[in-house]
Amino acid sequence: MKFNPLFIPFLFIAIICFGCKNISERKVPPNNSNENSLLESPNSSTSIWVDNGDQNYFESIPFRDDLKNALEDLDDTIYVCSREKLTKIEPLNLEESKITYDFKTSNQNHFSLKIQNKSFEVVEHEMQIDTIWREDGKYYLMSNDTIDGKRSIGTDGNIPTAEIEKFSLNVNQKEINLPSSIYNNLYSLKLDRTEVYETKDGNHIYVYLSGSDGAAYYSVKLVFSIKGFSTRILAILCGYDFIDGVRFDCV
């Protein structure tokens, strides 16, 4: 086929347009950062920039392989940072069975959080348990520790003392529809250990929860944006410092 020189202008225009399309689709990282610093989690409602003071923060964690096992999605590494670099929010009210937060972030996003416990009632649940009545008067779950068909956190073969009755979040006066799966298998929660932080962009909050003791001890970090739930990081037998990649505080 003979080449027609009249096609050259059209070919040149097509190359330019294709290049512009690629440029327009690229995510622009924050100023003074490398291109790979802006990440987006599939579980997240929006892209965020987590400034840990070190672009390679997660990769610098000595026990990062252990921490990866606690991630439900490997892209959640963007949420791993030292909470000491963030603004801590004090609770509005703390009672034995209830804790509430009500605050505005640095950019005036209004968050209201309420977590309420209730006593765990065996008759209200389906459990795989050892039916032998122990001398100490307690039932014991089987080794798989399932309650209502789901893996139970904070039990380790024992009947939990408490379950979460209510977990509600309002953002800018709007109630957020939260999936119950983020909290309904967390048992024996210790509300007085709760810690809440806002991220530097003011669009996200980190809720740290901890429950039970001994061999049933666990910690979890729940991440919320102004649009709702983003993800959770669960650590069995480890504390908040482990989740943050600060210290291997596992028992």
Could you read off the pLDDT of 53-92 as tens digits, one per residue?
A: 455 789 999 999 999 999 989 999 999 999 999 999 999 9
Give residue 193's pLDDT: 98
Per-residue pLDDT at 118 exceeds 70: yes
Provide the pLDDT confidence category of residue 137 given band limits of 50, 70 and 90. Answer: low
Q: How confident is the model at residue 140 (pLDDT cuts 50, 70, 90)?
A: low
Mean pLDDT of 211-232: 95
What letters, b where the CB count within 10 A reaches 16 and e where it falls short, cover 159-173? bbebbbeebebebee
| Residue 112's pLDDT band (cuts 50, 70, 90) | very high
Does residue 225 surpass a pLDDT of 90? yes
Model-level pTM? 0.75
